[in-house]
Structure 1
Amino acid sequence: MESDLFTDIDGDVYVSPRYLASTTGTGDPALTPLLDLGWDLQHDDLGNVYVTAPDRRVRLGYLPEGEDDGLWRINAYKDPFGPPTWGACFNDSAPEEVVAAFTTALATAYEQGQDAYLARPVSGTDEHDPFLAIVPLLKQGWEIDRLRSGVFEVQAPDGLAGMECTTGDLDPETELTTRDARWQLWAGKSIVRPAWYATASTDTPVALLTAVTQCVSDPAPLPRWRQDTLSYFKDMARLTPILPSQLSAPTPLDVQRAATSRRPTALPASSVPRWSTTSRPALPGPRR
């Protein structure tokens, strides 16, 4: 049964905390920072979009018709014909603002050169220490919880979001193809059954990780159409009605309608994480 908070509010709303906002279903905000730099855009006949940097060393896939729920996949390469140097993935329920924070930081790093977008994290350095990425979370009251040897998590005060880091050696291929990556950000009731998640492999530049944690921990709410939020975060998020004077066009409902008209199929409501024999159990739900 819905709480009065959800029952009494309809239309456009502000969602707080913002990590409970879910997605509006449009990829434009996250693609724009890269396309503005002149990156090449291609698409297939299924509606999947592929964006490639001019030097062919960074590739992004927006994959609504992919094999699993990894909607956004971003990989970088020292050798354009070799294996990825680092990779990040956002699933199909991740707020596009979080993905846009990552691609905006990536665009900035790309303009600075390979020393920025291929910068390997190094513990103990002033600029590239990977643990600098959790500082924005700690500043907003998130707390560190050591789960087991080699794994710790920074969790939001309400327990509905967290960022997990695994120390020690990890298999590069496993990091790129499962949720068992160096970093995993999640929101929902638990990391085992997240409503949305994002992963980043070992050598993902610190500046890109930090851009994501700054976005996720920002106390400002996000605008959404109420119905988009209800199906994912029922009874979790705090909703505040948006007055017409508070928003410039388009409204969240306008965005939702436009996105629905463009995409070939609706995204599934259930999360279907990537998994292998060594990762957490996959959630039940249809594969695309």
Structure 2
Amino acid sequence: MTSHDDLRTIDGDVFVSPRHLASTTGIGDPALAPLIDLGWDLHHDDLGNAYVNAPDRKIRLGYLPEGEDDGLWRINAYRDPFGPPTWGVCFNDRVPTEFVQAFTTALVTAYQQGPDVYLARPVSGTDEHDPFLAVVPLLKQGWEIDRPRWGVFAIQAPDGLAGLEFTTGDIDPEAELTTRDARWQLWAGNSIDRPVWYATASTDTPVALLAAVTQCVADPAPLPRWREETFSYIKGMAELTPILPPGPPAPTPLDVRRAAASRRPAALPAASVPRWSTTSRPALPGPRR
């Protein structure tokens, strides 16, 4: 159960379920934080786009709200800092920010382990780098294999409003880094042709990074959002549960004293003391000596 203290830290007034319908928070800081915390170089251009570079320039991230298309997040890795990208990932401008944060968090972990990890190519049939491992988290949450199509392995969410596709065969290396014609595509919406959001990953993207995203997508926990900022599409398809308001603040010592005073019984009236007056009876004479 969520405590009142936890509720005070939630940025939103409704929980959105399933989480693949939550869309973006509109704030890039949570996904940039894992890289910045590791000391990666950050700079901005005159338009407000942000660029983050690993110390050896072999991983580069662009956060591009003023980019040329809807590719808000573009992350590339390089064997040679001056050569073409070894792999590339793109998240468009409506991807739930938590999914991007899952990727950048896994990327930081892989980078600290070295190029043998963050440049590891997927290899079918291996224990650690089999591409199928990226699909497993979704299958465990009830995603089902979609209707077969030539050269495409696809699975779909139980509500039919999200899917993942893996394209087999040859793909143009340049096209999959700059278009949606990539090896991997994750999406949400009525169809892959008209998605609300999408994410793509090229052929050599490490499986561990892909699995971090699908694990986050598969998490059954809802995501907090502000109702007024939720897309009308989501309001019609998702389950929106109000987030309970935070509980009252803890009482101060003064509040405690006032409460105790209000419960104390009223004092009884003091006993009356007779006083001398002109209406009083005269004193009786004392005994004679």
TM-score band, normalised by shorter chain: 0.7 to 0.9
Contact 1:57 / 1:76 at 8 angstroms: preserved in 2?
A: yes
Extract unaligned runs of 5+ from structure 2.
1-11, 248-289
Alignment match, 1:50: 51
Partner Cα distance (1:16, 1:191) in 2: 20
Contact 1:77 / 1:85 at 8 angstroms: preserved in 2?
A: yes
Alignment match, 2:243: 242
Partner Cα distance (1:15, 1:68) in 2: 27
Contact 1:23 / 1:228 at 8 angstroms: preserved in 2?
A: no
Alignment match, 1:174: 175
Partner Cα distance (2:120, 2:56) in 1: 16
Shift of 1:130: 0.9
Partner Cα distance (2:238, 2:97) in 1: 17
Alignment match, 2:275: none
What amino acid sits opposite 1:92 in the alignment? D
Alignment match, 2:155: 154
Q: Is 1:165 aligned with 2:162?
A: no
Partner Cα distance (1:128, 1:97) in 2: 24
Alignment match, 1:26: 27
- For 1:177-192, what aligned pairs fall within 5 Å after superposition? 177-192=178-193
Extract unaligned runs of 5+ from structure 1.
1-10, 247-288
- Structure 1 residue ranges, 4+ long, deviating more than 2 angstroms after superposition: none
Residues 45-104 of structure 1: CA distance to partner in whole angstroms, max 9, x if unpaired?
100000000010000000000000000000000010000000000000011000000000
Partner Cα distance (1:15, 1:83) in 2: 39
Contact 1:22 / 1:232 at 8 angstroms: preserved in 2?
A: no
What amino acid sits opposite 2:77 in the alignment? A
- For 1:118-267, what aligned pairs fall within 5 Å after superposition? 118-245=119-246
User: Relative contact order, CA 8 A, sep 6+: which one is greater?
Assistant: 1
The TM-score with structure 1 as length reference comes to 0.80
40-49 vs 222-231, greater mean Cα deviation: 222-231
Q: Is 1:108 aligned with 2:109?
A: yes
What amino acid sits opposite 1:217 in the alignment? A
Root mean square deviation, CA, Å: 1.1
- For 1:39-118, what aligned pairs fall within 5 Å after superposition? 39-118=40-119
Aligned length: 236
Alignment match, 1:264: none
